[in-house]
Amino acid sequence: MKQSMMKWLAIPFLVLTLALSACSSNTSEQNEEDQKTDPSDGNTTETGGESGQSDDPLAPLEETAKVVIAEDGSASGAGFYIAKEKGYFEDYNIEVEFATFGNSDEMLPAVAAGEVDVAGGISSASFFNSIAQGIDVRFIADKGHNIKGNSYFSFVLRKDLQDEIKDYKDLKGKKVAVSTKNAVDDYIFQQMLEHAGLTRDDVEFVLMSDFGNMMASLGNKQIDAALQIEPLIAQGITNDIHVRFGDATDFAPKAQIAMVLGSPKFLTERRDVATRFMAAYLKGVRDYNDAFVKETGTKDEIIDIMTKHTATKDPEVWKNIGVVGLDPNGEMFIDDIKKQYQFYKENGAISSELDFEKVIDTSLAEEVVEIIGEYE
């Protein structure tokens, strides 16, 4: 009888012991979780690598990271300038330094070696040849295209000829100035000829490397038309030298004029920094699009930034020019890049094959857009 009673008394005691044990375990686990998530606790457990936060893929870096950008003050560097001036790089604990180079022959090896992290590249046969011959860089985002109907890189016509030349086919027999051969200018010129049903034998191609000289040559009637660039397009219109002649997007709507280049070392060995850099860059580009494309942002503020970093110092000029297109999601016209390469190759200007699967790397921009969302 006594043994039976002890047996039944032991059961409630065992249940109570287990319950107390479970409560203790739950409390211990909750304390550990609180230590991981409470930012006010000096003993917070670090689970997020460089950022120190596992649940925020774009948390600021624990230590300041320096990123070197090769940029010469071109308008297509707007995303870099705006991100710097508005503190987007600083938000991620990134310090940027702008470096200038005399030409791409000096710049590209520095990017490949990791001495420069990010740069801009303009399409040309020599540019593609350098990469194909071993200069290891990546195309990672858009850095320049024409905006439909208001291209920053487009044809202009002598003002006194506007009644005579009304369509592209009317350029037959005329002198047309282009700044380079076997580069993106030449490619756009070729696209215009094909659109007009003309050949190179139908027009006189005038190679003129200086855009300023083009405007002077139009003024003294040495040439009839030119593939010109802003702000000289607007300046020539103001001075009654030339008029806009159609728009480059009439025949080359998806011409990829320039690309953001990344060092392979930056993209792999410093991926955490690269991710945050791209996020800041795209924020800058989105502010730029808000101001100039949507005209919903703080345009005066963006213009002030552009006058600070580029050669166009007059704010009024920025209100009248066709600005460079910059994709707010970083997307490039990849098919057009390949098409340009093929054009140079058919002209006999390409000496080595280029592995586009290796060279074009959209993963960084895509990764960031997945986090910050697509631009609307």
What 3-state DSSP class applies to 306?
Answer: helix
Mean pLDDT, residues 328-335 taken together: 98
126-183 pLDDT tens trace: 999 999 999 999 999 999 999 999 999 999 999 999 999 999 999 999 999 999 999 9
CATH class of residue range 65-145+256-372:
alpha beta
Contact status, residue 258 vs residue 120, Cβ threshold 8 Å: yes
Provide the pLDDT confidence category of residue 32 given band limits of 50, 70 and 90: very low
263-288 pLDDT tens trace: 999 999 999 999 999 999 999 999 99
Backbone angles phi, psi at 81, to 5 degrees: -65, -45
Alpha helices in the chain (DSSP H): 2-37, 78-85, 88-91, 104-112, 125-132, 184-196, 211-219, 232-238, 264-268, 271-289, 299-309, 315-318, 334-346, 356-359, 363-372
Pairing of strands 258-262, 118-122: antiparallel
Residue type, 211: F
Identify the CA nearest to 59 among candidates 107, 31, 94.
94
pTM, full prediction = 0.84
Provide the pLDDT confidence category of residue 10 given band limits of 50, 70 and 90: very low
Query: Does the domain spanning 153-250 belong to CATH 3.40.190.10?
Result: yes
What is the CB neighbour count within 10 angstroms for residue 167?
A: 9
State yes or no: pLDDT of 8 exceeds 80: no
CA distances for 22 relative to 19, 26, 256, 290, angstroms: 5, 6, 64, 56
* Mean pLDDT across the chain: 88
End-to-end CA distance of the chain: 81
Contact status, residue 165 vs residue 171, Cβ threshold 8 Å: yes
Range(s) within the chain of domains with CATH label 3.40.190.10 = 65-145+256-372, 153-250
